[in-house]
Amino acid sequence: MFADAPEEGDSTTGTIYVLRSKSDHPMVSENRDLVHKIGVTTLGVEKRIAGAHLQPTFLMAPVEVVATYELYNINQTRLENLIHRIFGTAQLDIEIPDRFGRPVTPREWFLVPLFVIDEAVQKIKDGTITKFRYDPEKASLVSS
């Protein structure tokens, strides 16, 4: 599913991306090293984040890419749902006004250290992720 290069017959189906916001929102700036957007895209990541400062899903602020993982032969929607379910207990509860002043609650931001996200991706790779859940108090993956 993940590799540095596809094997013969593999088809690229997308990329898991992990972003860090440059927002000056107090919740984000106080927890900058923990606040990550985890998503899956079939576009290039740079195309996905173009104009981030204009989109509430990106907290109306520029972002930086902190990790990417290429996907091969996988349903990206199901994978993104799995990742969001694993980290659901750490979903950032934040409301951001869009450019028209309407409140928006982005759902792909989590208070999770980057090393735990990487560990989750490794467990997705080896097929053991369904045996784990994220424990925000321990800031780690624990057995389900």
Written as six digits, the tokens of 59 are 């907290």
Task: Give pLDDT, residue 137.
Answer: 96
Task: Give pLDDT, residue 4.
Answer: 47
Decide if 35 contacts 109 (C-beta within 8 A): yes
Written as six digits, the tokens of 109 are 């931001």
Task: Give pLDDT, residue 71.
Answer: 80
Residue with tokens 């659901």: 88
- The per-residue pLDDT string of the chain (144 residues; one tens digit each, 9 = 90 and over) reads 554 455 665 556 789 999 999 999 999 999 999 999 999 998 889 999 999 999 999 999 999 999 999 887 778 888 889 999 999 999 999 999 999 999 999 999 999 999 999 999 999 888 899 999 999 999 999 998
- 127: left (phi > 0), else alpha (psi -120 to 50), else beta? left
Element (H, E) at 120: helix 114-126
Task: Give pLDDT, residue 9.
Answer: 57
Instruction: Write the DSSP symbol of residue 43.
Output: S
Decide if 81 contacts 108 (C-beta within 8 A): no
Q: Does the reported pTM lie above 0.85?
A: yes
As a whole number of angstroms, the longest Cα–Cα distance in the chain is 49
DSSP characters over 51-92? TGGG-GGGTTS-EEEEEEEEEESS-HHHHHHHHHHHTGGGB-
